[in-house]
């Protein structure tokens, strides 16, 4: 880890030369405290490079309030101090319906909300960034059976269709 972190910090210095802004994306969650002692991609890097962190919560999977508040709860103080605020990503519908959620997150964490990013349908055309999409692939001959699912403006608990 020591050699790798030194190489990462060296690269960070080179990339940042003459730049007004460098945005660094972490790899995974900052709350994987079981991996923290070997971390060079999330809070390990942020604390060593002394860079501010904006936490991004994915509301599409559900449980985003617990995720952000839980991250605050379990992070060591050194890591927690690096987080300057958070974003909520992939929001569908009327953002004002999440106002109480934002207030709850602020109450639990004290962190500033930098905004709520709406679901962007066009983002589905971007290439997949990791192996998570492999779990969604269908095996076998998909032509053997066709299933039609109506796309409704309002639907909840549609997992029965899976």
Report pLDDT for 41.
86
As a whole number, the mean pLDDT across the chain is 85
Report pLDDT for 28.
79
Coil, strand or helix at 40: coil
Report pLDDT for 155.
65
55 within some domain: yes
Report pLDDT for 130.
54
82 within some domain: yes
Report pLDDT for 33.
87
In order of 49, 81, 123, the CA distances from 28 in angstroms are 18, 19, 19
In the chain, pLDDT over 90 holds for what percent of residues? 55
* Angle at 56 (CA atoms; ends 70, 116), nearest 5 degrees: 110
Report pLDDT for 25.
87
Report pLDDT for 141.
57
The domain total for the chain is 1
Per-residue pLDDT at 51 exceeds 60: yes
In order of 14, 135, 136, 142, 144, the CA distances from 139 in angstroms are 45, 10, 9, 7, 12
Q: Residue 88 belongs to what domain range?
A: 2-122+132-161
72 within some domain: yes
Least confident residue range of 23-27, 45-49, 85-89, 90-94: 23-27
**First CA to last CA across the chain, in angstroms?**
42
127 within some domain: no
50 within some domain: yes
Spatial separation of the C-alpha atoms in residues 118 and 123, rounded to whole Å: 11
Per-residue pLDDT at 136 exceeds 80: no
Q: Find, among 56, 81, 76, 78, the residue nearest to 68 by Cα.
A: 56
């Amino acid at each position: 880890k020591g050699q790798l972190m030194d190489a990462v910090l060296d690269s960070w210095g080179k990339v940042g030369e003459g730049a007004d802004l460098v945005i660094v994306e972490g790899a995974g969650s900052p709350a994987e405290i079981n991996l923290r002692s070997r971390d060079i991609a999330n809070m390990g890097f942020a604390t060593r490079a002394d860079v501010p962190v904006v936490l991004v919560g994915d509301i599409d999977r559900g449980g985003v309030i617990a995720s952000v508040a839980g991250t605050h709860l379990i992070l060591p103080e050194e890591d927690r101090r690096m987080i300057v605020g958070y974003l909520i990503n992939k929001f569908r519908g009327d953002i004002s319906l999440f106002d109480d959620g934002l207030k709850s997150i602020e109450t639990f964490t004290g962190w500033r909300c930098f905004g709520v990013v709406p679901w962007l349908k066009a983002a589905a055309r971007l290439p997949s960034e990791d192996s998570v999409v492999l779990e969604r692939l269908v095996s076998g001959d998909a032509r053997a059976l066709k299933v039609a699912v109506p796309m409704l403006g309002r639907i909840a608990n549609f997992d029965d269709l899976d």
